[in-house]
Amino acid sequence: MASAGNQTKELEKDNLNRASFVQLCNPNIATLKEDVLYHFGLSTSTHDLPAMFGDVKFVCVGGSPSRMKAFIKYVSSELGLGRPGEDHPNICAGTDRYAMFKAGPVLSVSHGMGVPSIAIMLHELFKLLYHARCSGVTVIRIGTSGGIGLEPGSVVITRQSVDARFKPEFEQVVLGKRVVRRTDLDEQLVRELSECAEGLREFTTVVGNTMCTLDFYEGQGRLDGALCCYTEAEKQAYLQAAHTAGVRNIEMESSVFAAMCSACGLRAAVVCVTLLDRLEGDQIRSPHEVLAEYQQRPQRLVGHFIRKCLAGA
Protein backbone atom coordinates (compact mmCIF):
# COMPACT_ATOMS: atom_id res chain seq x y z
CA MET A 1 0.00 0.00 0.00
CA ALA A 2 1.40 3.41 -1.02
CA SER A 3 2.25 5.81 1.79
CA ALA A 4 0.49 9.17 2.13
CA GLY A 5 3.77 10.88 1.24
CA ASN A 6 4.14 8.93 -2.00
CA GLN A 7 0.51 9.56 -2.91
CA THR A 8 1.04 13.29 -2.37
CA LYS A 9 4.14 13.27 -4.59
CA GLU A 10 2.30 11.38 -7.35
CA LEU A 11 -0.59 13.85 -7.14
CA GLU A 12 1.79 16.80 -7.35
CA LYS A 13 3.52 15.21 -10.36
CA ASP A 14 0.17 14.59 -12.07
CA ASN A 15 -0.89 18.19 -11.45
CA LEU A 16 2.43 19.44 -12.85
CA ASN A 17 2.02 17.33 -15.98
CA ARG A 18 -1.53 18.60 -16.45
CA ALA A 19 -0.34 22.20 -16.03
CA SER A 20 2.31 21.72 -18.72
CA PHE A 21 -0.17 20.56 -21.37
CA VAL A 22 -0.64 23.03 -24.21
CA GLN A 23 -3.61 25.27 -23.42
CA LEU A 24 -5.79 27.41 -25.68
CA CYS A 25 -7.46 30.73 -24.86
CA ASN A 26 -10.72 29.74 -26.54
CA PRO A 27 -13.47 27.80 -24.73
CA ASN A 28 -15.27 27.18 -28.02
CA ILE A 29 -12.73 24.59 -29.16
CA ALA A 30 -13.81 22.11 -26.47
CA THR A 31 -17.38 22.14 -27.86
CA LEU A 32 -16.42 21.19 -31.42
CA LYS A 33 -17.28 17.67 -32.57
CA GLU A 34 -14.60 18.00 -35.24
CA ASP A 35 -11.82 20.55 -35.56
CA VAL A 36 -10.60 21.00 -39.13
CA LEU A 37 -7.08 22.40 -39.37
CA TYR A 38 -7.78 23.54 -42.90
CA HIS A 39 -4.43 25.07 -43.84
CA PHE A 40 -2.57 21.97 -42.60
CA GLY A 41 -4.89 19.51 -44.33
CA LEU A 42 -5.50 17.78 -40.97
CA SER A 43 -8.59 17.13 -38.84
CA THR A 44 -9.42 15.62 -35.47
CA SER A 45 -11.84 13.21 -37.15
CA THR A 46 -9.55 11.98 -39.93
CA HIS A 47 -6.18 11.95 -38.15
CA ASP A 48 -5.05 10.48 -34.83
CA LEU A 49 -3.30 13.62 -33.65
CA PRO A 50 -2.14 12.23 -30.26
CA ALA A 51 -0.52 9.27 -32.03
CA MET A 52 1.05 11.48 -34.69
CA PHE A 53 2.24 14.35 -32.52
CA GLY A 54 1.84 13.45 -28.85
CA ASP A 55 5.60 13.11 -28.30
CA VAL A 56 6.48 16.58 -29.66
CA LYS A 57 8.62 18.67 -27.29
CA PHE A 58 10.27 21.11 -29.68
CA VAL A 59 8.56 23.05 -32.46
CA CYS A 60 10.72 25.10 -34.81
CA VAL A 61 9.07 27.41 -37.32
CA GLY A 62 10.55 29.36 -40.21
CA GLY A 63 9.54 31.09 -43.40
CA SER A 64 10.18 28.70 -46.27
CA PRO A 65 9.30 25.01 -46.71
CA SER A 66 12.75 24.20 -48.10
CA ARG A 67 14.50 25.75 -45.11
CA MET A 68 12.34 23.84 -42.64
CA LYS A 69 12.90 20.56 -44.48
CA ALA A 70 16.63 21.23 -44.41
CA PHE A 71 16.36 21.88 -40.67
CA ILE A 72 14.56 18.62 -39.90
CA LYS A 73 17.14 16.69 -41.96
CA TYR A 74 19.94 18.44 -40.08
CA VAL A 75 18.40 17.81 -36.65
CA SER A 76 17.59 14.20 -37.47
CA SER A 77 21.15 13.53 -38.60
CA GLU A 78 22.91 15.46 -35.83
CA LEU A 79 20.81 14.07 -33.00
CA GLY A 80 20.41 10.56 -34.35
CA LEU A 81 16.63 10.82 -34.52
CA GLY A 82 16.26 8.67 -37.61
CA ARG A 83 18.02 6.30 -39.97
CA PRO A 84 20.86 7.70 -42.14
CA GLY A 85 19.44 9.09 -45.37
CA GLU A 86 15.85 8.69 -44.17
CA ASP A 87 13.33 10.85 -46.00
CA HIS A 88 11.05 13.16 -44.06
CA PRO A 89 7.73 13.49 -45.92
CA ASN A 90 5.68 16.65 -45.75
CA ILE A 91 2.85 15.92 -43.30
CA CYS A 92 0.85 18.75 -44.89
CA ALA A 93 1.24 17.43 -48.44
CA GLY A 94 -2.52 17.70 -48.91
CA THR A 95 -2.26 21.51 -48.96
CA ASP A 96 0.15 24.00 -50.52
CA ARG A 97 -0.15 26.59 -47.74
CA TYR A 98 2.40 25.27 -45.25
CA ALA A 99 4.87 22.41 -44.93
CA MET A 100 5.43 20.29 -41.82
CA PHE A 101 8.12 17.72 -41.03
CA LYS A 102 8.79 15.59 -37.95
CA ALA A 103 11.74 13.69 -36.49
CA GLY A 104 11.27 12.20 -33.03
CA PRO A 105 10.20 14.96 -30.61
CA VAL A 106 11.03 17.74 -33.09
CA LEU A 107 8.41 19.34 -35.35
CA SER A 108 9.51 21.69 -38.14
CA VAL A 109 6.87 23.93 -39.76
CA SER A 110 7.01 26.66 -42.42
CA HIS A 111 4.99 29.82 -41.79
CA GLY A 112 5.34 31.93 -44.93
CA MET A 113 6.16 35.62 -44.88
CA GLY A 114 4.71 38.30 -42.61
CA VAL A 115 2.31 38.59 -39.67
CA PRO A 116 -0.90 37.37 -41.36
CA SER A 117 0.71 34.19 -42.69
CA ILE A 118 2.45 33.17 -39.47
CA ALA A 119 -0.63 34.06 -37.39
CA ILE A 120 -2.85 31.67 -39.35
CA MET A 121 -0.24 28.95 -39.02
CA LEU A 122 0.16 29.48 -35.26
CA HIS A 123 -3.59 29.24 -34.61
CA GLU A 124 -3.70 25.82 -36.24
CA LEU A 125 -0.35 24.72 -34.80
CA PHE A 126 -1.43 25.47 -31.24
CA LYS A 127 -4.73 23.67 -31.80
CA LEU A 128 -2.81 20.69 -33.19
CA LEU A 129 -0.58 20.58 -30.08
CA TYR A 130 -3.67 20.92 -27.86
CA HIS A 131 -5.56 18.09 -29.56
CA ALA A 132 -2.42 15.92 -29.52
CA ARG A 133 -2.17 16.40 -25.73
CA CYS A 134 1.39 17.67 -26.01
CA SER A 135 3.13 18.88 -22.86
CA GLY A 136 6.30 20.76 -21.99
CA VAL A 137 6.60 22.21 -25.51
CA THR A 138 9.22 24.79 -26.52
CA VAL A 139 8.56 26.83 -29.68
CA ILE A 140 11.38 28.61 -31.53
CA ARG A 141 11.23 30.76 -34.65
CA ILE A 142 14.40 30.48 -36.73
CA GLY A 143 14.80 32.90 -39.60
CA THR A 144 16.55 35.75 -41.37
CA SER A 145 16.54 39.47 -40.69
CA GLY A 146 18.22 42.78 -41.35
CA GLY A 147 20.70 43.83 -38.70
CA ILE A 148 21.24 47.25 -37.17
CA GLY A 149 24.87 47.89 -36.32
CA LEU A 150 25.86 44.24 -36.69
CA GLU A 151 28.12 42.45 -39.14
CA PRO A 152 26.21 40.33 -41.68
CA GLY A 153 25.99 36.75 -40.44
CA SER A 154 25.52 37.74 -36.81
CA VAL A 155 22.79 35.86 -34.96
CA VAL A 156 20.29 37.71 -32.77
CA ILE A 157 18.44 36.02 -29.92
CA THR A 158 15.41 38.21 -29.29
CA ARG A 159 15.01 39.66 -25.82
CA GLN A 160 11.73 41.33 -26.72
CA SER A 161 9.81 41.93 -29.93
CA VAL A 162 8.82 45.54 -30.51
CA ASP A 163 6.66 47.26 -33.12
CA ALA A 164 7.71 50.02 -35.53
CA ARG A 165 7.35 52.56 -32.69
CA PHE A 166 9.64 50.44 -30.48
CA LYS A 167 6.78 49.39 -28.19
CA PRO A 168 6.69 45.78 -26.88
CA GLU A 169 3.18 45.08 -28.11
CA PHE A 170 1.20 43.53 -30.93
CA GLU A 171 -1.96 45.34 -32.04
CA GLN A 172 -4.86 43.74 -33.88
CA VAL A 173 -8.40 44.86 -34.66
CA VAL A 174 -10.92 42.24 -33.44
CA LEU A 175 -14.65 42.81 -34.12
CA GLY A 176 -13.82 46.44 -34.87
CA LYS A 177 -12.02 46.97 -31.58
CA ARG A 178 -8.32 47.52 -30.94
CA VAL A 179 -6.77 44.59 -29.05
CA VAL A 180 -3.21 44.94 -27.77
CA ARG A 181 -1.17 42.00 -26.51
CA ARG A 182 2.26 41.96 -24.90
CA THR A 183 5.17 40.49 -26.84
CA ASP A 184 7.12 38.94 -23.98
CA LEU A 185 9.42 36.00 -24.62
CA ASP A 186 10.77 33.48 -22.12
CA GLU A 187 13.75 35.05 -20.32
CA GLN A 188 15.15 31.74 -19.12
CA LEU A 189 15.03 30.33 -22.65
CA VAL A 190 16.93 33.39 -23.91
CA ARG A 191 19.63 32.69 -21.31
CA GLU A 192 19.81 29.00 -22.24
CA LEU A 193 20.18 29.79 -25.95
CA SER A 194 22.81 32.43 -25.20
CA GLU A 195 24.78 29.87 -23.17
CA CYS A 196 24.56 27.43 -26.09
CA ALA A 197 25.92 30.11 -28.43
CA GLU A 198 28.85 30.69 -26.08
CA GLY A 199 29.51 26.96 -26.09
CA LEU A 200 29.50 26.79 -29.89
CA ARG A 201 31.70 29.86 -30.48
CA GLU A 202 31.11 29.51 -34.23
CA PHE A 203 29.68 32.97 -35.01
CA THR A 204 28.83 36.28 -33.36
CA THR A 205 25.64 36.00 -31.31
CA VAL A 206 23.97 38.85 -29.44
CA VAL A 207 20.83 39.29 -27.35
CA GLY A 208 18.71 42.30 -28.31
CA ASN A 209 15.29 43.56 -29.23
CA THR A 210 13.79 42.65 -32.60
CA MET A 211 11.59 45.10 -34.47
CA CYS A 212 8.68 43.50 -36.29
CA THR A 213 7.23 45.43 -39.21
CA LEU A 214 4.29 44.89 -41.55
CA ASP A 215 6.32 45.39 -44.71
CA PHE A 216 9.78 44.71 -46.16
CA TYR A 217 10.17 48.08 -47.88
CA GLU A 218 8.56 51.24 -46.47
CA GLY A 219 7.84 49.58 -43.13
CA GLN A 220 11.56 48.95 -42.67
CA GLY A 221 12.68 52.33 -44.03
CA ARG A 222 14.10 51.06 -47.30
CA LEU A 223 14.80 53.51 -50.11
CA ASP A 224 14.53 50.96 -52.95
CA GLY A 225 10.84 50.05 -52.99
CA ALA A 226 8.20 51.08 -55.52
CA LEU A 227 7.07 53.77 -53.05
CA CYS A 228 9.21 56.02 -50.85
CA CYS A 229 8.27 59.28 -49.12
CA TYR A 230 11.37 59.94 -46.98
CA THR A 231 15.06 60.77 -47.38
CA GLU A 232 18.26 58.89 -46.62
CA ALA A 233 18.82 61.22 -43.66
CA GLU A 234 15.34 60.47 -42.27
CA LYS A 235 15.90 56.73 -42.72
CA GLN A 236 19.24 56.87 -40.90
CA ALA A 237 17.73 58.87 -38.04
CA TYR A 238 14.98 56.29 -37.64
CA LEU A 239 17.35 53.31 -37.66
CA GLN A 240 19.66 55.06 -35.17
CA ALA A 241 16.65 55.67 -32.91
CA ALA A 242 15.78 51.98 -33.18
CA HIS A 243 19.35 51.04 -32.22
CA THR A 244 19.20 53.40 -29.23
CA ALA A 245 15.97 51.64 -28.19
CA GLY A 246 17.84 48.34 -28.08
CA VAL A 247 16.76 47.04 -31.50
CA ARG A 248 19.42 44.90 -33.16
CA ASN A 249 17.47 43.41 -36.05
CA ILE A 250 14.30 43.79 -38.12
CA GLU A 251 11.94 41.12 -39.46
CA MET A 252 8.20 40.60 -40.05
CA GLU A 253 6.88 37.85 -37.76
CA SER A 254 8.19 38.09 -34.20
CA SER A 255 5.48 40.29 -32.64
CA VAL A 256 2.50 38.04 -33.30
CA PHE A 257 4.66 34.98 -32.62
CA ALA A 258 5.63 36.31 -29.18
CA ALA A 259 2.10 37.54 -28.40
CA MET A 260 0.38 34.26 -29.27
CA CYS A 261 2.96 32.06 -27.53
CA SER A 262 2.74 34.20 -24.41
CA ALA A 263 -1.08 34.19 -24.44
CA CYS A 264 -1.11 30.37 -24.63
CA GLY A 265 1.61 29.95 -22.01
CA LEU A 266 4.17 28.45 -24.38
CA ARG A 267 7.90 28.79 -23.78
CA ALA A 268 9.14 30.58 -26.89
CA ALA A 269 12.15 32.26 -28.48
CA VAL A 270 13.18 33.93 -31.73
CA VAL A 271 16.61 33.27 -33.26
CA CYS A 272 17.44 35.05 -36.52
CA VAL A 273 20.59 35.63 -38.55
CA THR A 274 21.25 39.06 -40.06
CA LEU A 275 21.83 39.13 -43.82
CA LEU A 276 23.06 42.74 -43.94
CA ASP A 277 23.61 45.82 -41.79
CA ARG A 278 20.75 48.21 -42.58
CA LEU A 279 22.89 51.20 -41.54
CA GLU A 280 25.09 50.38 -44.54
CA GLY A 281 22.40 49.78 -47.18
CA ASP A 282 19.07 48.28 -48.17
CA GLN A 283 19.78 45.54 -50.69
CA ILE A 284 21.10 42.07 -49.93
CA ARG A 285 24.17 41.62 -52.14
CA SER A 286 26.08 38.72 -50.57
CA PRO A 287 26.68 35.70 -52.85
CA HIS A 288 24.17 32.86 -52.67
CA GLU A 289 26.62 30.46 -51.03
CA VAL A 290 27.38 33.01 -48.30
CA LEU A 291 23.69 33.60 -47.61
CA ALA A 292 23.07 29.84 -47.54
CA GLU A 293 25.74 29.44 -44.84
CA TYR A 294 24.33 32.37 -42.87
CA GLN A 295 20.88 30.73 -42.86
CA GLN A 296 22.34 27.57 -41.35
CA ARG A 297 23.59 29.43 -38.28
CA PRO A 298 20.27 29.67 -36.38
CA GLN A 299 19.70 26.01 -37.25
CA ARG A 300 23.04 25.00 -35.74
CA LEU A 301 22.42 27.00 -32.59
CA VAL A 302 18.91 25.65 -32.06
CA GLY A 303 20.04 22.13 -32.95
CA HIS A 304 22.75 22.39 -30.28
CA PHE A 305 20.13 23.62 -27.80
CA ILE A 306 17.83 20.68 -28.53
CA ARG A 307 20.72 18.23 -28.23
CA LYS A 308 21.59 19.69 -24.82
CA CYS A 309 17.97 19.46 -23.65
CA LEU A 310 17.58 15.85 -24.77
CA ALA A 311 20.88 14.87 -23.15
CA GLY A 312 19.69 16.28 -19.85
CA ALA A 313 16.21 14.77 -20.02
Please enumerate, by residue number, every residue annotated as part of a binding site for substrate: 220, 222
7: which residues sit within 8 A by CB, 6+ positions away? none
Binding-site positions read 97, 141-144, 220, 222
231: which residues sit within 8 A by CB, 6+ positions away? none
Burial 126-138 (b: 16+ CB within 10 A, else e): bbbbbbbebbbbb
Pairing of strands 169-174, 177-182: antiparallel
- Measured CA to CA, the distance from residue 293 to residue 144 in angstroms comes to 12
Binding-site positions for phosphate read 97, 141-144
Task: Identify each DSSP E strand in the chain by its residue range.
Answer: 36-37, 42-43, 58-62, 100-103, 106-110, 138-147, 155-162, 169-174, 177-182, 205-212, 247-251, 267-277
Q: What is the dihedral of CA 77, 60, 97, 164, to 10 degrees?
A: -140
